[in-house]
Structure 1
């Protein structure tokens, strides 16, 4: 009876801080030997990764936000196990959701940077895109492993891990015979029918704007005030996933730009020098003088003024994140170094199944091999000189190492990885540094974006 309780219920201290001397015994204790890596779990995990990668890529390219797939994949894993009549599936379900949840990881690393190669018309080979994602994924894995004990064991109960907590509850409910997969299937069917009605029959427009009304047109033209709402099922579902708090933060940022910044700049347009406005909007002075009203639309002001302000805010948030996490970096690296120096004693003391990690020597070996491979890729497949290649590999390693902690800490606290902001910061820094070592033009832009792709994928994987 005690064993059955242990298999289907989390310990009382699963989510709270441990008292001095208190030990945490997980639902699959170190003494047990659960089935985890099996042909079924690996195959299902790969299938989930393929399906959700396609969904994540579509949504990411459409709205610039990649959803975290761990929760829906966990629900599907539980549902499939129940349908197939499988028992004691907790270990295998963990593997399924762990493999499947990587779907949005590489996608996020690619879609935030690499599409710019094609938007700018740069000549990028397939192998460059492929290797940037591959090496970025490897780098994210090996850089995060030394931080695991700090975030998961040393800080037990101090971080909420919101998404991991939700995933855990779903997987535990599967051991109790939960049927959450039915809810996901119904939600998917409703979302599909909703978008089908919009896209196929045009029953209503996907993006509703106040410009459809006479008063809205006047407000947009005269006061540069526009209210727009995207009604697609993907965006509505995204709001549920990220939660009310962060949906409100995103909304607040949009309102600040659309209802304050854009109207303010629009009201000052007449007093701004036409040459300055032409430079700001990316057009010639003749265009400004020929038709100023068409160029000073609310949408143009948002694109050329509002978006750069947002990008700057995100970049500064990344810098602040590194400064705030400096203590965490020191503590986590200290744990890793002490393990490396402990040798066989540390390894012997950590023989429990639940505390098994790759040894620090192996991690360093993989890290060095990955960095050497990236250097070879940069030198022979992207850049021309040794100085540029060395500079590029230093950028990748230093920024990936520092931002890995920011990504992990963000996931631990809010469940959302600020990859896009940190990638923008990477692109800015790498561009400035590469220009300083003589790299510019289309080669420099391609190099900066490929470097950004490596770093972005590493941060996504770490998160």
Structure 2
């Protein structure tokens, strides 16, 4: 099908190429809402989200090919930039805002508070990232931005008509993910997990796994190295830590072995992961210290007029005066929100300062890590845990405790998390834009538009899932990060006891893992022991790690024997199919919750037993695996 996706993929698009049009704005905003809603569910269930940039780019190209014959590569890039803003904002919100429910401050999500946190946090993430663009994206050869480069390759492939089957892979994956969710979440024909535990000599031995195609798809996208690390973290906590701690109860009235295993993990072992993440967060801060100084200098030069006023379109950012003006607006809104939470001027001042300082620091950390390992692998949870601990400690030292202290701590965490998520996504998209010849200024404007619209739908989607999707904190929507942040906030506010011994063990373990990873780096080993994925595996339910490992193994077998430089091309269709599975299941879950809200409840056909539902889900998983394996790779000449 001929269209104007015909620019030379090796050259930037010309100045006359259309970039922001009415269709770009409309489609970008719609996809921002869709991607945001989908990732709210994914994050609450899986404890992690995946980048929406590549699926959004393919979806934009597919729709443009169907309806607009004169579309351009830069239009598709701008749609992808706007759409990915919804996904990144969702990650920031779902990791933190549900904690307000879990600590008892809310019984339901407050629309305006969630919207304000999402908008200000997302906007600050964009504003903080702009003066760092040259430092981290343009003038840094160390940072490869694997997902940003892969997304540019997808756009170039679409420009040269090499992407004809990509839309099909995305759609088939979406349909399959949606069908599996309907069979399980609406008709009750598919079980969500298989798990077992036994007690021997007062020791609990547990094993299990979620039977979710979506989690297998997540594993395929993050690849084998990260999947193995998440699984190793799960093994350390669940298969080694739980038996070592012991303490199993038997006899009448004792919980099942599975419930006891979850209790030990929830109250003790996941805090080992917290300690490891704190070490990882400070390690990342140390790694980007020079970039922070350079970014501050760049912003200062922009404010004092030292920059060239006649910049090329492909070099121009939002001007420094606009950054400062919007930043002041965000500060005022944050101060208002903090006072609204606590009605205490002292907490308001301290909380606002902590938000801004930590948000700026973690913008640099997120940008650096996304440049190294990609947006899907960015350890935002670890950064937010560090923010919770620092904020909680400072508020505690200032004698702010009780509910006010908890709410202030969680408010800081929410904003910092949104900043980190959005800034990482921005620099990833700016890298893609630089490779296809897009205007950074226009990309930044589309990011702001995407954040502004996606912020409006976060609270309604959260409310739907909480009231009609199983509830926050349930096994269906475990919200592991939010549960952890709630526990940390309670501990600092004097409402609970934190297992400092476990946090200390985790910190020590984190140092050991950093040393191991440094040794692997020096030996130029292909396998790395990145700290954050291991720590994530410790504080996620073990059932999530098993299917993620399966997905990583599929990706490895899929690309086995191929040169490493060809892996992105070989895995590309599988990634698109996997992205479709994730989006299909997530959007269907939101739709089922929406039906429940208007009185159309899930149906129980009375045809299922435990064995039947387990086997049904196993069949569904095998079908997903088969589709991934059969996904056709891109031609060898893909850039």
- Please indicate the TM-score interval, normalised by the length of the shorter structure: 0.7 to 0.9
Partners of 1:300 and 1:438 lie apart in 2 by: 31
Q: Per the alignment, in what secondary structure is the counterpart of residue 342 of structure 2? A: coil
Partners of 2:16 and 2:265 lie apart in 1 by: 57
**Higher relative contact order, chain-length normalized (CA < 8 Å, sep 6+):** 2
Deviation for aligned residue 1:10: 2.0
Count of equivalent residues: 414
Q: Per the alignment, in what secondary structure is the counterpart of residue 73 of structure 1? A: helix
Query: Which residue of structure 2 aligns with residue 300 of structure 1?
Result: 263
C-alpha root-mean-square deviation of aligned residues, in Å? 2.5
Partners of 1:188 and 1:288 lie apart in 2 by: 45
TM-score (norm 1): 0.83
CA 1:367/1:85 → structure 2, altered by over 3 Å: closer, same or farther? closer
Query: Which residue of structure 1 aligns with residue 114 of structure 2?
Result: 129
Deviates more, 1:381-390 or 1:109-118: 381-390
Structure 2, unaligned runs of 5 or more: 425-639
Correspondence for 2:89 among 106, 109, 114 = 106
Rg larger in structure: 1
Deviation for aligned residue 1:397: 0.9
Deviates more, 1:115-124 or 1:129-138: 115-124
Partners of 2:211 and 2:316 lie apart in 1 by: 47
Correspondence for 1:153 among 108, 122, 138 = 138
Correspondence for 1:389 among 341, 348, 351 = 348
Correspondence for 1:437 among 398, 402, 418 = 398
Query: Which residue of structure 1 aligns with residue 573 of structure 2?
Result: none
Q: Per the alignment, in what secondary structure is the counterpart of residue 206 of structure 2? A: coil
Partners of 2:184 and 2:7 lie apart in 1 by: 46
Q: Assess if the C-alpha contact under 8 Å between 1:132 and 1:451 holds in 2.
A: no
TM-score (norm 2): 0.61
CA 1:5/1:91 → structure 2, altered by over 3 Å: closer, same or farther? closer
Query: Which residue of structure 2 aligns with residue 191 of structure 1?
Result: 177
Deviation for aligned residue 1:206: 2.0
Q: How does 1:306-345 map to 2 (within 5 A)?
A: 306-343=269-306
Deviates more, 1:289-298 or 1:449-458: 289-298
Q: Assess if the C-alpha contact under 8 Å between 1:128 and 1:450 holds in 2.
A: no
Query: Which residue of structure 1 aligns with residue 56 of structure 2?
Result: 73
Q: Per the alignment, in what secondary structure is the counterpart of residue 194 of structure 2? A: strand
CA 1:189/1:290 → structure 2, altered by over 3 Å: closer, same or farther? closer
Q: Assess if the C-alpha contact under 8 Å between 2:97 and 2:114 holds in 1.
A: yes
Q: Does 1:256 align with 2:211?
A: no
Correspondence for 1:52 among 25, 32, 35 = 35
Deviation for aligned residue 1:218: 5.4
Partners of 1:47 and 1:398 lie apart in 2 by: 33
Q: Does 1:84 align with 2:84?
A: no
Correspondence for 1:404 among 343, 353, 363 = 363
Deviation for aligned residue 1:326: 0.8
Deviation for aligned residue 1:173: 1.2
Deviation for aligned residue 1:264: 1.0
- Show CA shifts across 1:280-313 (max 9, x none): xxxxxxx999867768932221222221111221
Partners of 1:299 and 1:389 lie apart in 2 by: 37
Q: Per the alignment, in what secondary structure is the counterpart of residue 413 of structure 1? A: helix
Partners of 1:44 and 1:431 lie apart in 2 by: 41
Query: Which residue of structure 2 aligns with residue 144 of structure 1?
Result: 129
- Show CA shifts across 1:10-62 (max 9, x none): 25xxxxxxxxxxxxxxx125xx2221111101111111112111110111111
Q: Assess if the C-alpha contact under 8 Å between 2:6 and 2:159 holds in 1.
A: no
Q: How does 1:221-370 map to 2 (within 5 A)?
A: 223-266=203-246, 269=247, 297-343=260-306, 346-348=307-309, 350-370=310-330
Correspondence for 1:95 among 78, 83, 93 = 78
CA 1:301/1:340 → structure 2, altered by over 3 Å: closer, same or farther? same
Q: Assess if the C-alpha contact under 8 Å between 1:195 and 1:233 holds in 2.
A: no
Structure 1, unaligned runs of 5 or more: 12-26, 271-286
CA 1:34/1:196 → structure 2, altered by over 3 Å: closer, same or farther? same
